[in-house]
């Protein structure tokens, strides 16, 4: 798959492609990322890409023409037929929130053109005529779309075959259908007893016994309890979809320790 990123700050992406376990996806070109700076397509000596908003107001707005010319160059480089053009995605606070389901969808796609806005935003005329989808990370505003683009690329890269050391790792992620959309259970590692700031803290005994069924049930119950406490909306969705077992419901009815 191929993602073309339109950004005024391509240097923000380079370290990301060379760091961490997901670099495997980028080095192997399983996730091929091409960076495009709209300033390269702007006119004049100063290569200006922004101007003051009509009607007044604070800040500057990215102009439509450099973005359009940049997009045209991407289309030519991708050499796609008209009916198979990659969608243009703008990262925006008004967009649909990025979640596990949409990340999985992008991981199974052929890619997209990702537009990273800056300043007060970009000319609405470019959005109206060129953007197919808008994506948000949540109900807050960032200085630009680069962090959101990196989040999308990372969520896609880790789903590629061979990227994670253990092929089953992402199956146990929070929100994954393998966990019925619930939150992942807590994890523990060595030492068995940690001398923490509040005194000795031991790993739950059930995790040390080697009884796989008991461990699986313990982790399921921990997942249920954590989801009930932190994201009850996910528990409601799982219940409505019929993904909770009788044993799950019996556990949830039990009084919990505060």
233 catalytic per annotation: no
Four-residue CA torsion sign, 225, 227, 230, 235: negative
Active-site pick, 24, 65, 75, 120:
120
158 catalytic per annotation: yes
Integer Rg of the chain from CA: 23
221 catalytic per annotation: no
Active-site pick, 158, 180, 219, 248:
158
Active-site pick, 65, 173, 184, 221:
173
Instruction: Give every strand in the sheet of 133-136, ordered side by side.
Output: 32-36, 2-6, 111-115, 88-97, 133-136
Active-site pick, 10, 53, 87, 93:
93
CB atoms closer than 10 angstroms to residue 28:
13
β-pairing verdict for 111-115 and 88-97: parallel
Secondary structure (H, E, C), the chain:
CEEEEECCCHHHCHHHHCCCCCHHHHHCCCCEEEEECHHHHCCCCCCCCEECCCCCCCCCEECHHHHHHHHHHHHHHHCCCHHHCCCEEEEEEEEEECCHHHHHHHHCCCEEEEECCECCCECHHHHHHHCCEEEECCCCCCCECHHHHHHHHHHHHCCCCCCCCCCCHHHHCCCCHHHCCCCCCCCCCCCCEEEECCEEEECCHHHHCCCHHHHHHHHHHHHHHHHHHHCHHHHHHHHHCCCCCHHHHHHHHCCCCC
120 catalytic per annotation: yes
- Residues marked as catalytic: 93, 120, 158, 173
């Amino acid at each position: 798959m191929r993602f073309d990123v339109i950004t005024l700050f391509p240097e923000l992406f380079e370290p990301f492609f060379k760091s961490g376990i997901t670099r495997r996806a980028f080095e192997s070109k399983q996730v091929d990322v091409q960076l495009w700076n709209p300033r390269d397509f702007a006119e004049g000596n100063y290569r200006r890409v922004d101007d003051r908003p009509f009607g007044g107001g604070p800040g500057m707005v990215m102009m439509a023409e450099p973005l359009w010319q940049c997009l045209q160059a991407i289309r030519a480089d991708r050499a796609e037929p008209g009916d198979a053009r990659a969608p243009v995605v703008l990262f925006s606070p008004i967009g649909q929130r990025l979640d596990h389901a949409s990340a999985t969808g992008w991981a199974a796609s052929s890619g997209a053109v990702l537009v990273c806005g800056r300043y007060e935003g970009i000319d609405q005329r470019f959005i109206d005529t060129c953007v197919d989808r808008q994506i948000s990370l949540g109900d807050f505003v960032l200085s630009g779309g680069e962090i959101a683009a990196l989040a999308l690329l990372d969520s896609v890269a880790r789903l590629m075959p061979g990227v994670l050391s253990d092929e089953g790792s992402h199956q146990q992620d929070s929100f994954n259908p393998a966990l019925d959309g619930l939150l992942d259970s807590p994890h523990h590692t060595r030492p068995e007893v940690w001398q923490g700031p509040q005194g000795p803290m031991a790993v739950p005994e059930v995790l040390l016994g080697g009884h796989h069924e008991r461990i699986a049930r313990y982790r399921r119950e921990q997942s249920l309890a954590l989801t009930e406490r932190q994201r009850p909306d996910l528990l409601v969705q799982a219940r409505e979809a019929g993904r909770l077992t009788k044993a799950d419901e019996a556990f949830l009815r039990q009084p919990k320790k505060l």
